Structure 1
Amino acid sequence: MSDSESEYDVEEEEIDESEFTCENRARAMKQPDVVTKYKIAADCANAALKVATDACVVGAKIVDCCQAGDDSLEKETAKYYNKKDKDGNKVEKGVAFPTCVSVNNQVCHASPNADCDAVLKEGDCVKIDLGAHIDGYVATSAHTFVIGQDKITGQVADVMKACELASEIVIRKLRPGASTADISETIENVAKDFGVNVVEGVMTHNMKRFIIDGNKVILNKQTPEMKAEPTEIEMYETYALDIVMSSGEGKPKQRDERETRVYKRAIEKNYQLKMANSRAVFSEISKRFPTMPFTARALQEKRVNFGLVECCNHGLLHSYPVLYEKDGSAVAHIKSTFLVLKNGNDRITTFAPQAVESDKKLSDTALYDLIAQPLKPPKKPKAKK
């Protein structure tokens, strides 16, 4: 696809996205460029997810799998929008969320440094999480699979199937006018049917241009310590639907601060750093990763670790800690990006779930009928002129 080509049947209209009201969202989604950029970003994320998945074989170093995903994100996004705009500016594109490969009872955000020697083994349950963006329009994806096993049973099968079904149900419920009030309950009921727990703290965020985690959230599990006000789904919004299940307690914890290698610039915070190497690190971050999360591995400044510590201590960076469930717990993670459109929700990041054999089923059989419904009605053939 060239810079000017669009395979999506949308109506062209110039708009100003500075005030992203519902009316402006509608006008934005009707622009070929906006929808095209979302879907190109999704194509890039889908391709990178496959590359990272294929790299995850017995004996492979985890850091190499992460790097393979990041390299693919850069390679795929580099194919598009290489002409400068009318003001002479290049279109920003690339990694929107660095590739994380979290194994077994690791819940999320594992993207180790190059000197990490950890390798994958047969039977490891792997969660891959990554994202791409084109001109700030983000598409993220995550999925779970087991290495080197054709028959997946037991608690691993239960968490994987529960994640898959919850995702399929929720994406069909999040239509314009629907309240998010009962979504947590829906996810909890699926988890109960499969004898697993919803992982606390996981949120589905809306996304806007250059904003990967918007203020509009759906909390998967309401707790006394963490609650989210119900909100209403609106037309022409974009969401990253995030579902994480565990055979453990669903209360993940950080074990070692030194494992944290994924960060994001806190754009609302300013501070004059004292150390010269910290200023050098922060300068590189501000130039290369002004709005999107990044991995420490991607930084070129030599004294990265020292610089990151001072930046974090003074709130200049948000960190994504590596979280763990209890040893022996099975964890599954599914994430997909979808656009809320008139004719149905358009899921733009996809993957083929690995087949599992769980002996558990949904107690509400009507939900199977809901899942069987297509997200979007089939397109009517265009009348010949």
Structure 2
Amino acid sequence: MIQIPPAELQPDVEMDENEVDDGTQDADGNSEVKKKKKKKKSKKKATKPVQSDPPRIGLSQFFPDGVYPAGEIQDYKDDNLWRKTSEEKRYLERMAMEDPEATYESIRKGAETHRLVRQHARKNIRPGMSLMDIAENIEAGVRALAEGDGLDAGVGFPTGLNINNCAAHFSPNAGDTTVLKMGDILKVDIGVHVKGRICDSAFTMSWAPEYDQLLEAVKAATNTGIREAGIDVRLGELGALIQETMESYEVEIGGKVYPVKPISTLCGHTITPYQIHGGARGKSVPSVRSNDQTKMEEGEYFAIETFGSTGRGRVIENGDCSHYAKIYDAPNVPLRLTSAKSLLKTINKNFGTLPFCRRYLDRLGESKYLFALNHLVAQGVVADYPPLYDQIGSMTAQFEHTIILRPTCKEVVSRGDDY
């Protein structure tokens, strides 16, 4: 047996920085030193996710703590300015922020989705594109960023792509071949929802400088509505201020001067969970003067939207319908058609009371459903919302934002750098 000398009697062996004692021994019992290169441990740097182009990466990748950017904060005016420093109102706001349903964060996630999707759309929409491609690109972005395609999250209502004298409620049905032209004015109305909290915001695009004042008038009117909105503000008085702003503009088209008229039959509205127009107790925000003494209230969530026109300032229903929604308090009526019963199950499962369009039914694999859908409308279970047009030859524009009347301040949740 070979005896190993005690450590203190072993000869000192110097090792350079690249030598390592691996514990092996030679025939005399001495430790063998083999040269081994030290492996440098590579430090992995945490890389921040980068949004794709077009945007298709879910927002939870960028906000893992579930806290999303707040919108533009505006102080209340005059009589309500005290709310900003009130201990009671600040306490109520903290309680709202700690809501287990995460109401504010759901709204803000929808708003951030809206901003990213629309910024890409505004950069890329151009004459020569089909409305079908525009709508499907927008909606694909909404579903990806909001991380849902149903009642949990996703599209809040069909994407409105309304051209020229069509002011609202047009979205292409299957087979539509409409192509955007250079002289068109396009209103783009996008809805996003997260847990039923809908972000509703719209903008107008034009490639003809002669329409700039029309767009400016409507944007200014919407901003007036936002600025003047607040707790205890009477809706009829707010409509008067919006009207005054819009009617202070005029537009010259082809050498002829046109006054800009607010479309009196289209209004802003409250938004409640899964109900774009606020349900039974919904309130309307007019764009003209009225005697409505109804007041805005603390905690309410409003879409402030205005439409301006070079035409009559009134719209009528016309053309094929694309927009539908189950009525929130629909009667429980017996349905004769088996196909209508089946379609209603599809609607309840995938949309509830959220608005939908025929393209969404196509995506779900429904076919030959139009007769059943019309039967649901006739029975008062589903409402239809046909396109809305001002007079032929007129031009219309729209701008819209959603706001929360928080206890301490007003938050314009959908505000962005673009509008």
CA gap of 1:36–1:228, structure 2 versus 1, over 3 A, is farther
What are the Cα deviations for residues 5-52 of structure 1, in whole angstroms up to 9, with x where unaligned?
A: 32569xxxxxxxxxxxx9998576332622111100111122222344
Mapping of residues 251-266 of structure 1, within 5 Å: 251-256=314-319, 259-266=320-327
Q: Which consecutive residues of structure 2, in runs of 5 or more, have no partner in the other structure? A: 1-59, 71-88, 250-258
Amino acid at match of 2:104: V
What are the Cα deviations for residues 201-253 of structure 1, in whole angstroms up to 9, with x where unaligned?
A: 2222122222321212222235xxxx673222222321111111101011111
User: Which of 265, 269, 275 is equivalent to 1:201?
Assistant: 265
Partner of 2:345 in structure 1? 283
CA contact (8 A) 1:247 1:330 kept: yes
Amino acid at match of 2:162: S
CA contact (8 A) 2:92 2:407 kept: no
Identity %: 22
Partner of 2:367 in structure 1? 302
User: Which of 221, 242, 247 is equivalent to 1:187?
Assistant: 242
Amino acid at match of 2:340: S
Q: CA deviation at 1:76?
A: 1.0
Partner of 1:292 in structure 2? 354
Amino acid at match of 1:220: S
* CA distance in 2: counterparts of 1:206 and 1:28, whole angstroms: 22
CA contact (8 A) 1:29 1:236 kept: no
CA contact (8 A) 2:68 2:109 kept: no
Question: How many residues of Structure 1 are paired with residues of Structure 2 in the alignment?
Answer: 322
* CA distance in 2: counterparts of 1:320 and 1:26, whole angstroms: 36
* CA distance in 2: counterparts of 1:43 and 1:31, whole angstroms: 20
* CA distance in 2: counterparts of 1:27 and 1:307, whole angstroms: 47
CA contact (8 A) 1:277 1:303 kept: no
CA contact (8 A) 2:69 2:108 kept: no
Amino acid at match of 1:125: I
Partner of 1:234 in structure 2? 297
Mapping of residues 210-225 of structure 1, within 5 Å: 210-214=274-278, 215-221=282-288
* CA distance in 2: counterparts of 1:38 and 1:312, whole angstroms: 30
How does the TM-score come out when normalised to structure 1?
0.77
CA contact (8 A) 1:52 1:66 kept: no
Q: Which consecutive residues of structure 1, in runs of 5 or more, have no partner in the other structure? A: 10-21, 81-89, 355-385
* CA distance in 2: counterparts of 1:143 and 1:234, whole angstroms: 26
1:169 aligns with 2:238: no
CA contact (8 A) 2:200 2:402 kept: yes
* CA distance in 2: counterparts of 1:244 and 1:338, whole angstroms: 18
Partner of 1:371 in structure 2? none
* CA distance in 1: counterparts of 2:275 and 2:107, whole angstroms: 13
- SS of match in other structure, 2:236: coil
What are the Cα deviations for residues 272-328 of structure 1, in whole angstroms up to 9, with x where unaligned?
A: 222222222222111101021111111031012222111111111111210111122
CA contact (8 A) 1:207 1:240 kept: yes
Amino acid at match of 2:382: L
CA gap of 1:23–1:305, structure 2 versus 1, over 3 A, is farther
Q: CA deviation at 1:176?
A: 1.9
Q: Radius of gyration: which is bigger? A: 2
How does the TM-score come out when normalised to structure 2?
0.71
**Two-structure CA RMSD over aligned residues (Å):** 2.6
Q: CA deviation at 1:93?
A: 0.9
Q: CA deviation at 1:67?
A: 1.4
Q: CA deviation at 1:352?
A: 5.2
What are the Cα deviations for residues 307-366 of structure 1, in whole angstroms up to 9, with x where unaligned?
A: 211111111111121011112211110110111235532111135568xxxxxxxxxxxx
